[in-house]
Structure formats: structure tokens, C-alpha cells
Amino acid sequence: MKKAAEWLARAHEAREKFAPMPPELAPRDLSEAYLVQSEYVALRSATLGQVTGYKIALTTPAMRAMVGLDDSIAGDMLDKTIRRGNSRVRAADYVRLIVEFEIAAELAEDLPAIGAPYDRAKVATAVGTLMPALELADDRNADYALMKQNALMLVADNAWNEGAVLGEPLRDWRGIDLAALKGTAFINGSNVGEGHGRDVMGHPLDALAWVANHLASRGLGLWRGDVVITGSLVTSKFPKAGDAVRFEAGALGSVELHVE
């Protein structure tokens, strides 16, 4: 798995197009794909800090069908890739920047593997704050028509995550109907998409429970201070240099990103 992770790291450094690994390195099943992901994340952590958050991807049946998987997938977020407050990034730092529009949860209590299985009610007790978030990802010019042939590679490649931009955390969130909450995405002031909390696995906290249970199945836990972004309410966008991206998430507030 280490050699596969090193191959991935070199491909990123060379800014190569997202493509299958050589057959002798490629993961053969989902379990091996997550092992490669862990090794790859460990390589990145030397410069980007420890894992302090997680993402969930493929939260809809349509997205899972597109890549040929029957479940959502998880990815790790490293400390130095998580930005707080309105932020700026350089388009040139990515092969092809993706932005997604999400609800993030920051934990105030641990959700250890021993406590699984988790459901919406159990994870809700551990959530300290919620906030709007923009996921930063890089698909390295992937050919989406070929994703069914590369589904395990997407897992190994840490679900393409390159961090997140987090809005102002809200502690008094429990009176908000998160399923009905409306999120609106803007680029340069123009509405480019809308969605609701229910579009993410039925409820954002159901997505959080999925992450907790997924990690538990790998002997891992969520810990106080960890951040989980729960899936995009709006379809992925591909902003370019000069674009201003804004996500308004109703009672949770808003967050902005400027791409230079």
C-alpha cells in the first residue's frame, strides 16, 4: 500500500491527470483502497498537519451510480488545509479546482469506535457547532465518463479533498430545521444553484452518523474538535481565477472564497 501511496503522491506533485494506477499497485477492493488512502494521507501530513476532519462524498444514488459504487465514501482533511472565515486560494495551486457547498459540524464530544453504531440522535449530542462550508477539491482533470473504471482510485486519492473553508460557527443551532434549511451558491453574485439539507442523505446529521459508523468499521473514531463536512447541497462548481464564490446557508450564515 505504501508504494501505491507514493505513486499517488508523485502523480500529484507532477500535476498529472487523474488516471488509474499501474495494475500491480492498484487496490483490488474497497478495503485496500482505504488502506492506500491512509498511507497517502500520512505522506501528506508531513507538511499539512494531522488529520483533524473528514468529508463524505457520493451522498446521492445518482452520484454513486456514476462511479459504480453502492455506498458513499469518506476522505480525510488535514489541519493546514482547513481555513476558517472568508478566504482566498490560488487557482494555479490546483490542476482543476472544485468547490462544493456544505454544512459542517465541529464536535464537542468524542464519537469513538466502541460507541457504534451511531444514528442521528446520538451524533447530535456530540455536535458543538454547525457552520456553512466550502469544500476545496481537485479532480486533476478527471474524465468523468470513465469514473466507473476508476472508482477505487477515487477512494485511494482521498476523495480528491484539498481542504475546506469554514464559516462562522453557530453554537445555538438546535432549533434549526436542518432538513429544510436552504442553501444557495453564488459565483460573482449570480445564483448558480440551490439545495436543502435533506438533499444530503436525508439530513446532514445522518451524513455525520454515516461518517462515524464508517470510521468505526475501520477501528477509528471521531474526536472532540474534529470537523466533518457533510456533503454538497449544490452540484460541484469549477471556479476560475478572478471568481468570487459565496455560499448562503440560511440561519447558519454564509461563507466566501475568492479565487486568485
pTM, two decimal places: 0.96
**Which three-class secondary structure state does DSSP give residue 231?**
strand
Q: What is the DSSP string of 17-43?
A: PP-PPPTTTS-SSHHHHHHHHHHHHHH
Residue 156: pLDDT above 80?
A: yes
Q: 131-140 pLDDT, tens per residue? A: 999 999 999 9
Beta bridge partners of 73: 57
Q: Tell me what percent of the chain is helix, strand and coil, each rounded to the nearest 5.
A: 35, 30, 35
Q: 29-61 pLDDT, tens per residue? A: 999 999 999 999 999 999 999 999 999 999 888
**Which three-class secondary structure state does DSSP give residue 94?**
coil
Superfamily of domain 2-259: Fumarylacetoacetase-like, C-terminal domain (3.90.850.10)
φ, ψ of residue 131 to 5 degrees: the values are: -160, 155
Half-sphere exposure at residue 84, Cβ-oriented, CA atoms within 13 angstroms: 7
Domain ranges of the chain: 2-259
In this predicted structure, what is the pLDDT of residue 67? 83
Cβ-based neighbour number of residue 121 at 10 Å: 9
Task: Locate 76 and state its grid cell.
Answer: 480525510
Integer CA distances (angstroms), 214 to 31, 93, 161, 246, 252, in order: 12, 31, 17, 30, 26
In this predicted structure, what is the pLDDT of residue 60? 82
Angle ∠(248,135,107) on CA atoms, nearest 5: 85
Angle ∠(7,228,150) on CA atoms, nearest 5: 35
